[in-house]
């Protein structure tokens, strides 16, 4: 899906064969989504769903941290969208900035917080290309895990930057669980794990066709 391996490559064929052998001979299989349960049941009847989870005693809303961080960033009255994590490879790159520009058109009071070890100069270039002012965003390195709940508490909506490739419905992103436990609704794409389903069913998130203006405008009533 991501163009990292070729389907006809020796690596892919060997790994695919070994995975099927393991699935057939395993006593039982634990996997992250109902999609993978359905995918594997023809190989092994003992397949169980156990989604990725995080500790609710660690990831929880912190009102004091929210006020402190928003004061430090001078964003007390802004609608803050946050993305923490990798970009590129299995994740969107410049498309994330396209998404933020679309959000800004609908919500001029929005502010964007990105914490990543991706090339910050490249991100600055993309923000500039979209005419997003430096007063409307901050880019910083990865946040230590013990500080993540505080930064999530300071935000108003989280972003899951996974492209909607066919294989991605088998993922179970930890980030979404962290967002929800800290009281954040989230933006994702259709076909990412089961997150699009839960977002719609419980009105806790926004599912897009892709990260661009047209897709955001289709769902603007939610924002």
Rounded Cα gap, residues 149 and 13, in angstroms: 41
Can you give the pLDDT at residue 31? Answer: 85
Across the chain, what does the average pLDDT equal? Answer: 91
Q: What is the pLDDT of residue 223?
A: 57
DSSP-assigned states of every residue in 121-164: HHHHHHHHHTT--GGGEEEE-PPPGGGHHHHHHH-SEEE-----
Instruction: Give me the pLDDT at residue 107, please.
Output: 94
Query: Of 161, 167, 148, which is closest to residue 62 (Cα–Cα)?
Result: 148
DSSP assignment letter at 173: -
Average confidence (pLDDT) per 10 residues, the chain, 223 residues? 83 90 88 84 85 89 97 94 94 96 95 97 97 97 95 97 90 92 95 91 93 83 58
- Predicted pLDDT at 112: 98
Crossing angle of helices 94-106 and 120-129, in 10° steps, is 40
Q: What per-residue confidence (pLDDT) applies to 201?
A: 92
């Amino acid at each position: 899906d991501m163009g990292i391996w070729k389907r006809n490559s020796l690596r892919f064929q060997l790994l695919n064969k070994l995975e099927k052998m393991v699935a057939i001979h395993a006593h039982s299989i634990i996997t992250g989504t109902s999609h993978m349960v359905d995918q594997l049941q023809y190989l092994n009847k003992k397949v169980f769903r156990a989604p990725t989870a995080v500790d609710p005693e660690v990831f929880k809303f912190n009102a004091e941290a929210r006020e402190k961080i928003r004061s430090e960033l001078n964003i007390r009255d802004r609608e803050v969208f946050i993305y923490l994590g990798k970009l590129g490879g299995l994740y969107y790159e410049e498309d994330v900035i396209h998404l933020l520009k679309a959000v800004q058109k609908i919500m001029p009071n929005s502010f964007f917080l990105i914490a990543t070890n991706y090339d910050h100069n490249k991100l600055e270039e993309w923000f500039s290309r979209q005419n997003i002012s430096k007063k409307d965003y901050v880019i910083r390195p990865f946040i230590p895990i013990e500080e993540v709940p505080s930064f999530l508490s300071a935000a108003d909506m989280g972003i899951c930057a996974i492209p909607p490739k066919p294989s991605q419905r088998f993922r179970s992103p930890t980030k979404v669980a962290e967002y929800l436990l800290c009281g954040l609704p989230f933006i994702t794409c259709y076909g990412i794990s089961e997150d699009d389903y839960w977002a719609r069913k419980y009105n806790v998130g926004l599912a897009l066709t892709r990260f661009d203006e047209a897709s955001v405008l289709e769902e603007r009533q939610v924002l």
